[in-house]
Structure formats: structure tokens, C-alpha cells
Amino acid sequence: MSKFIERPRYLCTLGGAIATLKVLPRVIPIIHAAAGCGGNIANALHGASGYLGSGYCAGLALPSSNIYEKDIVFGGEERLTEQIATTLEVVDGDLYFVVTGCMVDIIGDDAVAVANRFHQEGKPVLGAETGGFKGNSYKGYDIVLSKLFTDFVEKNPVKKKNVVNLFGLVPIQDVFWKGNLNILKALLEKIGYEVNTFFGEGETLDNLKYAGAASLNIVVSDVYGIEPAKIFEEIHGVPYVIAPLPIGAAGTERFLRTVGEALGTKETIIEKVITEEKARYYSYIERLADVYNDLDFQRYSVVVADVNYAPAIARFLADDLGWLPELVMITDVLTDEEKQLVETRFQDFTSGIRPKLVFDTDTSNVSKHFNASWQKNNNDRYFDSFSPAFVLGSSLDRDFATSIGAPHLGVSYPLSNRVVLDRAYVGYRGALSLVEDIFGLLVGSR
């Protein structure tokens, strides 16, 4: 049985599926669901991810069967057939992907079979069951990717040694996904590989279609994209490596070594790239030497984020900035095995810092965990206060930051208090942006 969630930081399976399709180039989602599902999701995706906007064919332009009571009583397959046919007439796309909401899954409409009938007629239509009750947004991402890897990616027994695919960084849930993919792609290109990320800048559906020729899948997550990676391996014979999201010098170095090892890349190449990138990184970071040390810019901190970001940010704060991330709250719904795996990511910071890690889905609990881990001042004259402090989380965590008198930077979904375009936080380059944003807040409030 599942528990209620107070202010959840994700949508349902359908929400994640639509988000994933929305940002794939020229893919048109067709929603088979009650009318409000798409509208509600559109608002959440547009307004809570740094103002992403409606997009090419998303927002209120999403084709949707808008079934209601009568269709639910008599079945909605006929209505869906009509909707797919008319969508093919009106909406200009390269691939049409039917996704379903709770009601049609409950009444047993076979939307996938309807989509398949179009597919058999040579129309570029796919479908998957994504009823919201199956899980959260991340689940929708996994379902859609799995379906695309199974039915859209062309089989190719010949592998290209220098081509890799990269996924596991969930678009929109990672508000900075597009900028982040750019950076990871550039890094891997630098060590000699062509990269398909499917959702990245300048990519087309062909990057996905011909992804079967890759020699390795790099999953930038301990949890998300793993299921699709397994399916990819089964169908296309491409192995995968897990290389968690890297932010900053410490994390990115690990990332490059992990990937290099899996690919059998020459160590000298990896070392050369690390050396070059680090030199560039520190040529900028060096500028902070004065302000950091003159104004004492070391901070205690609290991180509230998903399972991809939380370890990456905490490691960056501890190992790159020399900060004291005392509390990290991971807000996803995870299994016990997943939690155990993620815990290990916090055990080997080079700084030796071990933040207190909690898994909790409820927003109000951030302050409870904080109070449990850092004692309140009971009117003591001499008191070790949590100060100076800094909070990195979603816009839902602004109130918590205010309550402990800390500045707040939005890094995780939902973000409705900042605009995000091509900003990125991963790698060496992204970390420089993160430093600009964090220290910008510190100097801005002087």
C-alpha cells in the first residue's frame, strides 16, 4: 500500500511519459485520457520547471481523446481511433505516441492495440499504457524509453566502437536537462566518442532510431533508465554502465574514469581531458580565492533533491567547495535496495564529509529532519548554531530556507521561482554556473 505524499515533487506515470515525449524532437504525444489529465500536466510541466513553456506540440496543444463519462461506460477505443486518424491529418510530426491515463487503463481500453493497427498500416504510431496510478513521473520516463528502445530503435548487429548512448537524466524532472546533456556530450566527444542523448540540442529522432549501433549505454543514474538499459541490452545487445550524475571537479573526474574504464578508453586520453578541463575549471574558480577567504564563504548546507541530484550536489558542496552539507533529503519514492545503493554514494567523499541522509517524500518533513539532526538553541549563551547556512532544493523549500535564515537556490523540480533556458550544472562547465548562482546570492545580499 502506498502512503499519501505531502506536496509531491513529481507527477504521475502519464505526467512523466508526456514530459519525456514533449522534449523528444518532433514527437507528438496523443493522450487517451479524461480531458483534464493533459491540461493539468501541461501546467505542471510549463510552470514548475523554470518556465519551460508549452513547446512544439505540448501544453494545451496536446492532442487528447478527452474521454468522459459516456466513453468510460461504453469504452473509448473508437474515440481513440478517430483521434489518432485526425491527429495524423492536422499535426505535423515524425512520430506519434499514444499514452494513456488512469481511466482508460481501469476500464481496459486496449490503446496499444489501437496504435498498433495504425502502425501496421505504415503510420508512425506507437503506444504504451501509462495510467497514472502505476507510479510517478520517473516511471513514465522508464516506460516510454523502454517502448522506444523496443519498437522504434532499429536493430543493428554491427556496433560502432566510437558511438555511445547516454540517458537516465530525466528531462524536466531535471530542469537543467538540456544544458546538462550538452555538457556531458561535449565531454564524451572530447575523449573520442559520438553520443546520442535523444533529448539534447540539435539532435533529431534519427539519433534515437540508429541508437542500436552504439557500443555502450551510459546511464547517468543509479535508479532511472536502468530498466530501459536492461531492455536495450536484451534487444540490441548493447551493455550499459552506471555513471552517476557528475557535478564539479571531483564528481566529473570519477564520471570520466568510470566511463573510460567501461569503454576501454586509453587512460592517457582520459587523463589528458581531466587535466585540461580541470585547468580551465580552476582558472575560473581561482577568482574566488579572495572573496571566499576574505568574506568567509564556507557554509553549512541542506540539500533537498531527487536521487540523481542529491548525491551529486552534496559531493560538489563537500569535495569541491569545502562546505558542510549536514543534511540531505532525497524526495523520491524508492525501494529499499535502491536506498541502500544510493547510500553508498555518500560514503566516499574525498573530504571525508558524511552528510546525514534521509529518504522522505513529504515537504514539511525537511524541517523535522533538520531539527532532529541539529539541536535548537535552548536559550544557551554559547551555542553552536547552524550558521552561516545555505539551502539547495526546489521552490517548495524556500520557506524552510527562510525559517533557518539561509539563502536558497532552486536546483530541483519544481522550480517556479527562476527561469531556466540553457543553464547547466553538470560537469566542470556546469559547476562554474552553479558557483556563479550560489555565490551570486551570497554577494547579492551583502
Site for another protein in 130-149 (CB under 8 A): 131-137
* DSSP H/E element including 74: helix 69-74
If the CB atoms of residues 10 and 149 are measured against another protein, the closer one turns out to be 10
> Is 393 an interacting residue with respect to another protein (CB under 8 A)?
no
Count of residues of this chain found to bind another protein when the rule CB under 8 A is applied:
77
> Is 116 an interacting residue with respect to another protein (CB under 8 A)?
no
> Is 5 an interacting residue with respect to another protein (CB under 8 A)?
yes
If the CB atoms of residues 135 and 325 are measured against another protein, the closer one turns out to be 135
Looking at residues 256 to 285 of the shown chain, list those that interact with another protein (rule: CB under 8 A): none
196 contacts 181 by C-beta, under 8 angstroms? no
> Is 12 an interacting residue with respect to another protein (CB under 8 A)?
yes
Measured from the CB of residue 46, what is the shortest distance to another protein in angstroms? Answer: 7
Residue with cell 544510493: 342
If the CB atoms of residues 61 and 269 are measured against another protein, the closer one turns out to be 61
Measured from the CB of residue 71, what is the shortest distance to another protein in angstroms? Answer: 8
> For residue 299, which of 401, 208, 368 has the smallest C-alpha distance?
401
Measured from the CB of residue 437, what is the shortest distance to another protein in angstroms? Answer: 17
User: Which of 344, 377, 417, 421: binder of another protein (CB under 8 A)?
Assistant: 417
> Is 86 an interacting residue with respect to another protein (CB under 8 A)?
yes
* DSSP H/E element including 32: strand 27-32
Measured from the CB of residue 370, what is the shortest distance to another protein in angstroms? Answer: 15
87-115 burial string, b = 16+ CB within 10 Å, else e?
bbeeeebebbbbbbbbbbbeeebebeebb
Q: Which stretch binds another protein (CB under 8 A): 81-89, 109-117, 290-298, 341-349?
A: 81-89
> Is 83 an interacting residue with respect to another protein (CB under 8 A)?
yes
Measured from the CB of residue 59, what is the shortest distance to another protein in angstroms? Answer: 7
Q: Which stretch binds another protein (CB under 8 A): 95-103, 308-316, 321-329, 351-359?
A: 95-103
β-bridge pairing 240-242 and 216-219: parallel
User: Which of 92, 121, 294, 337: binder of another protein (CB under 8 A)?
Assistant: 92
Alpha-carbon gap, residue 45 to 32, rounded angstroms: 18
Measured from the CB of residue 392, what is the shortest distance to another protein in angstroms? Answer: 16
Looking at residues 360 to 389 of the shown chain, list those that interact with another protein (rule: CB under 8 A): 364
User: What are the φ/ψ torsions at residue 15 (nearest 5 degrees)?
Assistant: -60, -45
User: What are the φ/ψ torsions at residue 385 (nearest 5 degrees)?
Assistant: -85, 160
61 contacts 108 by C-beta, under 8 angstroms? no
If the CB atoms of residues 240 and 309 are measured against another protein, the closer one turns out to be 309
Measured from the CB of residue 78, what is the shortest distance to another protein in angstroms? Answer: 11
String of contacts with another protein for each residue 192-231, x by CB under 8 A? ----------------------------------------
Looking at residues 37 to 56 of the shown chain, list those that interact with another protein (rule: CB under 8 A): 37-44, 46-48, 53-54, 56
- Burial of residue 212 (CB within 10 Å: 0-12, 13-18, 19+) is buried
Alpha-carbon gap, residue 267 to 340, rounded angstroms: 31
401 contacts 391 by C-beta, under 8 angstroms? yes
> Is 65 an interacting residue with respect to another protein (CB under 8 A)?
yes
> For residue 106, which of 170, 33, 178 has the smallest C-alpha distance?
33
Alpha-carbon gap, residue 222 to 335, rounded angstroms: 12
Q: Which stretch binds another protein (CB under 8 A): 11-19, 255-263, 274-282, 372-380?
A: 11-19
**Amino acid present at 257:** R
Peptide bond into 388 cis (omega under 30): yes
User: Going by C-beta distance under 8 Å and a sequence separation of 6 or more, which residues neighbour residue 70?
Assistant: none
> Is 173 an interacting residue with respect to another protein (CB under 8 A)?
no
User: Going by C-beta distance under 8 Å and a sequence separation of 6 or more, which residues neighbour residue 245?
Assistant: 169, 180, 220, 221, 251, 308, 309, 311, 312, 426
User: Which of 21, 23, 24, 62: binder of another protein (CB under 8 A)?
Assistant: 62
User: Which of 398, 432, 437, 442: binder of another protein (CB under 8 A)?
Assistant: 398
Alpha-carbon gap, residue 37 to 69, rounded angstroms: 14
Measured from the CB of residue 128, what is the shortest distance to another protein in angstroms? Answer: 16
Assigned C-alpha cell, 197: 542523448
> Is 57 an interacting residue with respect to another protein (CB under 8 A)?
yes
Looking at residues 312 to 371 of the shown chain, list those that interact with another protein (rule: CB under 8 A): 364
End-to-end CA distance of the chain: 49
